[in-house]
Structure 1
Amino acid sequence: MHRQTTMKTFLAALALLGAGAAQAVDWSDTALSYRYGTHYAEPFNPADIRKNIVNLSHVNGYAYGKNFISADLLLSDKKDPDSAGSGSGARELYVLYRHTLDLGKVTGKDFKAGPVRGLGFTAGFDFNVKHDAGYNSRKRMLVAGPTLNLDVPGFLDISLLALWESNAPYNGFSRTATPRYDYDVHPMLNAVWGIPFSTGVPLSFEGYANFIGSKGRNEFGGATKPETNIDMQIMYDMSAAVGAAKNTFKVGVEYQYWKNKFGNSDKGNPGATARTPMVRAEYHF
């Protein structure tokens, strides 16, 4: 089956799942967040880049699983210049969607064993559009694979996913587009967590970790490298201090470590590994 037909079929199936879930949502959380750092990195760019990132996310649970969608608007300073040569910074939109089907609820079986709370199957997609002076990413990616739900306070989900990724970068100066290129199907071990704890004040340890295998040759014939992308934060629930309901307002610090970013080797390429401290604020509604 052609890749475009496969994607349309896959997205249609996800839309049907989401529509069914939306009719019987048991719980949900929507958040508007902001994060800021001065040491972002991009491959083939040796500069420390300042970025302001605004995120809108939504998660909900229904009788047979849960949905998660996240949209980042990333605004770089001029050290990551835009594609128009205006002296402004690059702009990027990155959207991620995941649906996890709870196999225990679907089959009526209990998959709880030892540290495992349950078993699921996760599927979804990523896409982005970036306007910058270099690569101008137009990523499209489908993901699917099993998920273990571990028995911890809060949640800790570990998934082994297959990734079907393609890109068609656009040269903003010459107004030419690279034909869409499909990388090799490759694996990702993914962990996502949110674990509350207290030291006299309400805190939580949140984040994700992606360990991504090589995706073969890139569209220019070069070899790609395995990636490690760990993003974690300590968040303080300041809601009570401002007279709001629990988990309405959160502030905290965040750190991201991303080695071989986008599969680019960091040998002689300092921008291919990011070490980025950030500040973060969230409003949940």
Structure 2
Amino acid sequence: MKSIVSVVLTGAAAMAGSVGAHAAEWSDTSIGVRYGTKFAEPYNGRDIEKTIVNLTHTSGYKYGTNFFNADFLMSDGNDSNAQEAYLVYRHTLDLGKVSGRSMAFGPVRSVGATAGFDVNTKNDPGYGSRKRMLVVGPTFSMDVPGFLNVGVYALWESNRPRTIDKRYSYDVHPMLNLAWGIPLGGSGLSFEGYLNWIASKGRNEFGGPTSAETNLDAAIWYDMSPHIGAGPKTFRLGVGYQYWRNKFGNPKTVPGSLAKTPMLRADFHF
């Protein structure tokens, strides 16, 4: 657990430093929870029940945006009651705002340069992931209600699980990322989520092959705030679904490499 706490503190410090370096023009911070009984983990053929608590922060300043998310994942006995922390940080510099001229074209509202990282640690008795990943590439913000961002990124990923004695670096590989939040009229409903397609990252740390992976995580949210006398988008309930093929690059022949996970979700914004 000590390593999980240190990773969380590292990510939080990075977020605080970035936000502090720029005067935020807007920000949103939330705490959420999601729950499902059909999670999957590679080399584990059983359905896994998980509760995931997340802390999410987004903010915008004169020249761009920050995004930070920390997931705390708690598994049941089918995954050895393991605990995991997974952190994501992205900073996008709006090239139009920096240059002082519009970068819009066709359906694209703006173009940004994105950089960030993923960090995880998990205390399961088997693999014991210690992932580190740098992310760099362009992001295209589409002209839609709400937002739809399309990113094409290069990934520098490494891991040092407890089963090997030094950190292993995979081949640099590309990722196509879509992230969206689309309000559904004035219904109080919204459609939100992300889709990652990640190319094969070469040989894994044991010399085996890796496969391209697809990770879709989508949810329909309903804003409960008007019914409890709170401000808009303060408290929301949702239903979600995750489809993750070749999870972490594991080929389809690996048990647990395919997840099809319905979820219940809730979040509180402040």
Shorter chain as denominator, the TM-score bin is over 0.9
**1:126, 1:18 → 2: CA distance?**
18
The alpha-carbon deviation at position 140 of structure 1 amounts to 0.3
Identity across the alignment (%): 60
**2:87, 2:204 → 1: CA distance?**
22
In structure 1, the partner of 2:63 is 64
Residue 34 in 1 paired to residue 26 in 2?
A: no
**1:68, 1:56 → 2: CA distance?**
11
Change (3 A) 1:100 1:39: same
**2:54, 2:176 → 1: CA distance?**
24
Gaps of 5+ in 1: 1-11, 82-88, 172-176
In structure 1, the partner of 2:8 is none
For residues 63-109 of structure 1, the C-alpha deviation after alignment (integer angstroms, 9 at most, x for no partner) is 0000010000000000001xxxxxxx000000110000000000011
Residue 163 in 1 paired to residue 130 in 2?
A: no
Residue 102 in 1 paired to residue 101 in 2?
A: no
Within 5 Å, which residues of 2 pair with 1:1-285? 17-21=18-22, 24-81=23-80, 89-171=81-163, 177-198=164-185, 201-267=187-253, 269-285=254-270
Look up the equivalent residue of 1:104 and give its one-letter code. G
Q: How many residues align?
A: 258
* TM-score of the two chains, using structure 1 as the length reference: 0.88
**1:233, 1:14 → 2: CA distance?**
25
**2:226, 2:199 → 1: CA distance?**
43
For residues 135-190 of structure 1, the C-alpha deviation after alignment (integer angstroms, 9 at most, x for no partner) is 1000000000001000000000000000000000015xxxxx53100000000000
**1:137, 1:178 → 2: CA distance?**
13
CA RMSD of aligned residues (A): 1.6
**1:258, 1:216 → 2: CA distance?**
19
**1:61, 1:111 → 2: CA distance?**
18
Larger Rg: 1
The SS at the match of 2:256 is helix
The SS at the match of 1:79 is helix
Look up the equivalent residue of 2:255 and give its one-letter code. P
Gaps of 5+ in 2: 1-12
**1:78, 1:16 → 2: CA distance?**
38
For residues 229-248 of structure 1, the C-alpha deviation after alignment (integer angstroms, 9 at most, x for no partner) is 00000000010000000000
Confirm or deny: 8 A CA contact 2:86 2:119 kept in the other structure.
yes
* TM-score of the two chains, using structure 2 as the length reference: 0.92
Confirm or deny: 8 A CA contact 1:80 1:133 kept in the other structure.
no
Look up the equivalent residue of 1:29 and give its one-letter code. D
Change (3 A) 1:219 1:205: same
**2:145, 2:233 → 1: CA distance?**
16
